[in-house]
Amino acid sequence: MSRAGAPDRLSLNQETVRQWSLPELVAGCAEAGVGTVGLWRDPVRRFGVRETAKLVAGSGLRVSSLCRGGFFTAADRAGRAVALDDNRRAVEEAAELGADALVLVSGGLAEGERDLAEARRRITGVLDELVPWAAGHGVRLGIEPLHPMFAADRCVVSTLGQALDIAERYPARQVGVVADAYHVWWDERLEADLRRAGGAGRIVSVQVADWVTPLPEGVLLGRGQLGDGCVDLRGFRETADAAGYRGPVEVEIFHPGLWARDGAEVLREVIDRYREHVE
């Protein structure tokens, strides 16, 4: 859905304007002409899943993704059962919101664990049970690789190639990958893996944020506004397009500097930067 004023394919991930409540997000997007949003489970649940779904649908907004399920690398069966249960709820929420995809971040190593290969193998144990559940709810799953600097504590899936290896165990209409430029820009195999993903119809979401240094303590909140860093964001988007991707391009920037500003001003800047560096 396109509205006057903003690029057709731009999707605003709500964490980029974390200072906005859900009604502010919906109103702000309408005001700016943004037709698509990415949502996060925490704020959605605080506002109410049903209430969010009603609000979003009433405004004609499309939901490109719900972030996030995953974190199913617990070393023990009980821990993975808890994770599976939580992921089933996430699937239900994505279905209720009509999200294009539920984003899955695998989780990191277990406490004290030093076996990365084993942690990576545990992912599919949970997915084998989650995929049919998601299919039954009409929800597509997107496996997102995170930057290798998160391999220990957030996501043992570190490259698009690894995410694809996992996704390809399941039908493409049910499981694909999420390509976030921030996480994968450094990878010399990125272009080949995007082609591989696109050729198989498995790119379920494309996200953009820029890489800026120095990284802050904890490295989570160090993403840069589009154009402030060193990622060839347009080249990234063009490669995804050349591989057959036609969906939204979601702007997902975690940055306290953006959160401290007026949300509408941040969104205007995002739109300008998107035009200059992505479109």
Which residues bind to a copy of itself, rule: CB under 8 A? 109, 113-117, 120, 147-149, 151-153, 158-159, 162, 185-188, 211, 213-219, 229-232, 235
The secondary structure element, H or E, covering residue 252 is none
> Residue 217's CB: how many other CB atoms inside 10 A?
8
State whether the Cα torsion 156-205-170-242 is positive or negative: negative
Shortest distance, CB of residue 153 to a copy of itself, whole angstroms?
A: 5
Rank residues 1 and 230 by Cβ distance to a copy of itself and give the closer one.
230
Rank residues 20 and 274 by Cβ distance to a copy of itself and give the closer one.
274
Shortest distance, CB of residue 166 to a copy of itself, whole angstroms?
A: 12
For residue 28, what are the contacts with CB-CB under 8 A and spacing of at least 6?
17, 20, 34, 263, 264, 267
Provide the 3-class DSSP secondary structure of residue 42: helix
Rank residues 96 and 113 by Cβ distance to a copy of itself and give the closer one.
113
Strand ranges inside 82-149, DSSP E: 102-105, 141-143
Rank residues 24 and 191 by Cβ distance to a copy of itself and give the closer one.
191
Shortest distance, CB of residue 161 to a copy of itself, whole angstroms?
A: 8
Rank residues 4 and 76 by Cβ distance to a copy of itself and give the closer one.
76
For residue 113, what are the contacts with CB-CB under 8 A and spacing of at least 6?
75, 119
Shortest distance, CB of residue 152 to a copy of itself, whole angstroms?
A: 5
Cβ proximity of 211 and 230 under 8 Å:
yes
Shortest distance, CB of residue 163 to a copy of itself, whole angstroms?
A: 12
